[in-house]
Amino acid sequence: MDLDYVCAHAGRPAASLTRRDVARALLAVPSGVALVALPDLRRALMAAGNPLSLPFWESARTTLGSIESGAATVGDVQRWVESTGSEPILMTPSYFVWPEEDERGPVAGEMFDLLVAYLEERVRSGEIDPDALATGDHGVRRAYEELQERWLSTPLPDGRVPGFAVSDEQDEELFAAWDEEEALALSELHRIMGELGKKPELPAADLVRAGARLRELLDRPGFPANVLRACAGFDEQPMPDDDMELWLAVAAGIAGPVSDLSEETDLLEEFADLDGELSDEDTVLANLCAIQHADWLAAVAALVRLGPGVLASPERIARLISESEDIDAYDETPDDLDATEVLFGPVVSLWARLGIVDEDGVLTPLGWWGLPAALERAWSAAD
């Protein structure tokens, strides 16, 4: 490692290298190599008219030595790079988090580079003191964080607000990945149903009885009616008159909740109370949202293949998922099985309210017909 390497790594001539450029180049090679190269690199930069500063070189030697000895944490290294004065803070005090470098989309990459350039200007103007950052001055560090917070929330000349622009891009990427996963799961569901020898048939009389019970339940206050209404989106739209539409909307909502609980439950206040316990509603909705598409697919595929009369308890479902050949195999541990069982506990309880399982947790003819139809509805909602 030498000055030519640092210049190539940063894409700048020696006279224009910043502390951040040098720090990133030092971290790009083994710490032992960087420590050995440090004195020659410092002399070469002095000869190029860009000596940087004594606090920087001392902090570099300390950090690299800590890395070499195995004492440095990832946070220690990140904070050292941030102390160069032009490295954006990975997580700001308001909890804005930059994506990792290899996970940044075009917008995040652009905004990150714009912030680096902005910080470099502030270093050159003297507004940011990297030497004080390197020596751990708390007041200077706080001002450095506040400066970046302001930049993230200030519109650019084109009107974009950097923090919002990055978050919007991340949301779009997340939704796109979710949609892709959902489409794949739906395709697999169609394949599995197409391979069934005997197709589930609608038990019309059972559906009528279940629809009547469900309407009565949904008119009640409190749990579990409020969760079922939220799952189906009935807090924002009227319930359908048709029994099949009503039943499928609720059953599909369990697999893919449409909305949160009504604001009157003070959900945000409950989550903000870190010392308090989650309500039944919060716990159930959190569990439903935590179940992956693959687990829904494996569970429903297994139950449909086995047919009415099969036990559909949370324990049995967890085992069926772990043994499924419909999803990618992975090493299942007792903790994994326990976690899956916990997630499907509320599911089976809500299924009983719809007549999908009976009071003993056994799959009914209505559940045999309705589960694949509900999954198809849940995963086709965006079409």
Mean of all residue pLDDT scores within the chain: 89
> What is the gyration radius of the CA atoms in the chain, in angstroms?
29
pLDDT tens readout for residues 238-283: 889 999 999 999 999 999 888 766 544 444 444 444 455 667 788 8
| The pLDDT value given to residue 266 | 45
The answer to whether 127 and 156 are in contact (CB under 8 A) is no
Q: How far apart are CA 139 and CA 141, in angstroms?
A: 5
Percent of the chain exceeding pLDDT 70 equals: 93
| The pLDDT value given to residue 39 | 94
Among 171-175, 223-227, 338-342, 367-371, whose mean pLDDT is lowest? 171-175
Q: How confident is the model at residue 141 (pLDDT cuts 50, 70, 90)?
A: very high
Tokens of 277: 């316990």
Cα 286 to chain centroid distance, Å, stands at 14
Tokens of 345: 């506990």
Of 84, 69, 72, 81, the closest CA to residue 27 belongs to: 81
Q: What is the dihedral of CA 331, 336, 340, 343, to 10 degrees?
A: -140
Question: Which positions ≥6 away from 84 have C-beta within 8 Å?
Answer: 18, 19, 20, 23, 56, 130, 133, 134
Q: Residue 351 above 50 pLDDT?
A: yes
| The pLDDT value given to residue 235 | 77
Of 108, 143, 113, the closest CA to residue 128 belongs to: 143
The answer to whether 204 and 316 are in contact (CB under 8 A) is no
| The pLDDT value given to residue 259 | 72
More confident residue, 179 or 66: 66
Percent of the chain exceeding pLDDT 90 equals: 71
- φ/ψ (deg, to 5) at 124: -65, -35
pLDDT tens readout for residues 297-318: 999 999 999 999 999 999 999 9
Distances (CA, A) of 209 to 215, 247, 250, 310, 351: 10, 11, 15, 21, 15
More confident residue, 350 or 262: 350
pLDDT tens readout for residues 193-230: 988 878 888 999 999 999 999 999 999 988 899 999 99
Q: Residue 24 above 50 pLDDT?
A: yes
| The pLDDT value given to residue 265 | 43
pLDDT tens readout for residues 109-134: 999 999 999 999 999 999 999 999 99
Q: Residue 3 above 50 pLDDT?
A: yes
> What's the whole-number mean pLDDT along residues 356-381?
93
| The pLDDT value given to residue 92 | 87
Burial class (CB in 10 A: 0-12, 13-18, 19+), 253: buried
| The pLDDT value given to residue 236 | 73
Q: Residue 382 above 60 pLDDT?
A: no
Q: How far apart are CA 110 and CA 116, in angstroms?
A: 10
The type of residue at 15 is A
Q: Residue 373 above 50 pLDDT?
A: yes
